[in-house]
């Protein structure tokens, strides 16, 4: 499709909300925004919202090394179906994304993907927490977010050196932290509390997350560097970030859909579908995460899309790996579960994560003339039922099977190419 008009929708971006058609030029940029636009093919957006494509700060695409669970191709297709035009692939692959050669491999795999795939880079070699990676070399290839996701950087001195090293790079980058003090979390498979006691499953105390958040807020103050906190899950963590922002510190944070839609009571089924890291928390923490998303303490919704094979997830709870799918349901879960206007939900899923990831030049920006046509068209009223077998992912570890959600992506455009039309993947 070359040269077309998205007609009849309501445009929503960081500049506001207005009625208008969007004309896309042959070169994949936005040619005009306004009412009554003509020319080329017509894409129906009646009753829909036209917005900048969503951006996921935190997706596990598994490749290289774990292709039996997911590949860059299948994960990015799931992303496009969920309205995402850009994802940041996490580095806990095999081998880890800890050097320029593996970054190149991931970027090469993403060149033909229906979503713009950006690679993160590990903070430490092999994510082992002992030696800093060559961040400068990876930054030259476009890496803007560094994390040892799956493990927190345990050594405070090493984390300080990482922040100081990053501050001297010629391009702005963000260091993101998986907040978990290993000595406290060791041996735990769910939240430590009432349900872990009832079920006889060893738990991880909330303090294992909160201590790391507190430490890195102090390190951000010490170094002047921004720290991004991944998948916050406790009320105290949210409060710590809120207070740090009040004091003007350079910190940002994300929350996952499962941490504002599910509680640790789900584990009563002993189903490893509900095993995640950090673990699902009690009602009060879920409410606190929702409040943080509403008042700005938490900047972004991330999926932490973590596919696993059926065989892996069918193991006993204490042996199964943590993680669940998220790319195809994130927007609908946010629209269904959060008492927020669609404009705020889109901010949390689009332009705010784009800014954190350093992608605002191409993703999440205003729907305006000359901008890349990275767009999603959302029907905010359509209801649908989650069917894991219909997922584009190679894996099926979706805890929302059978749940009815409101709000669905109708179309997704990547640099002007329709990669999803009427809810169907085009490639």
Please list the active-site residues. 304
In degrees and rounded to multiples of 5, residue 317 shows phi and psi of -55, -45
CA separation, residue 317 to residues 58, 92, 154, 239, 264 (Å) = 24, 21, 26, 31, 13
Contact predicate 324/267, CB 8 Å: no
Tokens at 373, concatenated: 């046509």
Q: Could you identify the residue written with the tokens 């695409």?
A: 61
Contact predicate 43/411, CB 8 Å: yes
Beta bridge partners of 88: 118
Angle CA(366)–CA(371)–CA(377) in degrees, nearest 5?
Answer: 60
> Hey, how many other C-beta atoms are within 10 angstroms of the C-beta on 140?
14
In degrees and rounded to multiples of 5, residue 378 shows phi and psi of -120, 130
Beta bridge partners of 132: 124
> CA 350 to CA 56: how far, in whole Å?
8
Contact predicate 103/143, CB 8 Å: yes
Q: Which residues of 204-228 are buried (b: 16+ CB within 10 A; e: fewer)?
A: bbbebbbbbbbbbbebbbebebbbb
- Which DSSP state fits 262? -
Listed in sequence order, the residues at least 6 apart from 309 whose beta carbon sits closer than 8 Å to its beta carbon are 68, 69, 395
Burial class (CB in 10 A: 0-12, 13-18, 19+), 310: exposed
Q: Is 374 helix (H, G, I), strand (E, B) or coil?
A: coil
Tokens at 318, concatenated: 């204490």
Using DSSP bridges, classify how beta strands 417-421 and 404-414 pair: parallel, antiparallel or unpaired.
Answer: antiparallel
Beta bridge partners of 256: 302
> CA 68 to CA 397: how far, in whole Å?
13
Sign, CA dihedral 63-64-66-68, equals positive
């Amino acid at each position: 499709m070359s040269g077309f008009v998205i007609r009849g929708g309501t445009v929503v971006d960081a500049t506001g909300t207005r009625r208008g058609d969007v004309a896309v030029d042959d070169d994949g940029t936005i040619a005009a925004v306004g009412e009554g636009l003509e020319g080329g093919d017509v894409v129906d957006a009646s009753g829909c919202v036209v917005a900048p494509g969503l951006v996921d700060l935190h997706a596990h695409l598994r490749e290289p090394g774990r292709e039996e669970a997911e590949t860059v191709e299948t994960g990015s297709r799931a992303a496009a179906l969920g309205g995402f035009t850009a994802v940041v692939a996490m580095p806990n692959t095999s081998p880890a994304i800890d050097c320029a050669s593996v970054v190149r491999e991931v970027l090469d795999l993403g060149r033909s993907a229906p979503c713009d795939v950006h690679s993160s880079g590990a903070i430490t070699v092999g994510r082992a927490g002992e030696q800093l990676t060559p961040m400068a070399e990876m930054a030259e290839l476009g890496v803007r977010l560094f994390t040892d996701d799956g493990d927190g950087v345990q050594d405070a001195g090493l984390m300080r050196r990482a922040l100081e090293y990053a501050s001297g790079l010629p391009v702005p980058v963000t260091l993101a932290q998986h907040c978990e003090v290993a000595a406290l979390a060791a041996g735990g498979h769910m939240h430590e509390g009432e349900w872990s006691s009832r079920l006889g499953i060893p738990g991880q105390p909330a303090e294992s997350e909160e201590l790391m958040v507190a430490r890195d807020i102090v390190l951000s103050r010490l170094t002047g560097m921004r720290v991004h906190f991944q998948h916050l899950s406790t009320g105290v963590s949210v409060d710590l970030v809120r207070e740090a922002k009040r004091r003007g510190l350079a910190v940002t944070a994300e929350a996952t859909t499962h941490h504002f839609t599910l509680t640790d009571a789900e584990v009563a089924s002993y189903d490893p579908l509900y095993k995640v890291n950090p673990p699902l928390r009690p009602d009060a923490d879920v409410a606190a995460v929702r409040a943080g998303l509403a008042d700005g303490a938490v900047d972004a919704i991330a999926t932490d899309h973590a596919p696993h094979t059926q065989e892996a997830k069918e193991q006993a709870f204490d042996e199964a790996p943590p993680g669940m799918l998220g790319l195809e349901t994130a927007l609908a879960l946010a629209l269904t579960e959060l008492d927020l206007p669609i404009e705020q939900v889109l901010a949390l899923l689009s332009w705010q994560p784009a800014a954190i990831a350093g992608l605002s030049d191409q993703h999440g920006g205003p729907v305006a003339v000359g901008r890349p046509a990275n767009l999603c068209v959302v029907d905010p009223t359509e209801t649908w039922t989650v069917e894991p077998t219909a997922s584009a992912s190679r894996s099926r570890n979706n805890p929302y099977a059978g749940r009815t959600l409101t709000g669905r992506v109708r179309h997704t455009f990547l640099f002007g190419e329709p990669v999803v039309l009427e809810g169907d993947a085009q490639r």
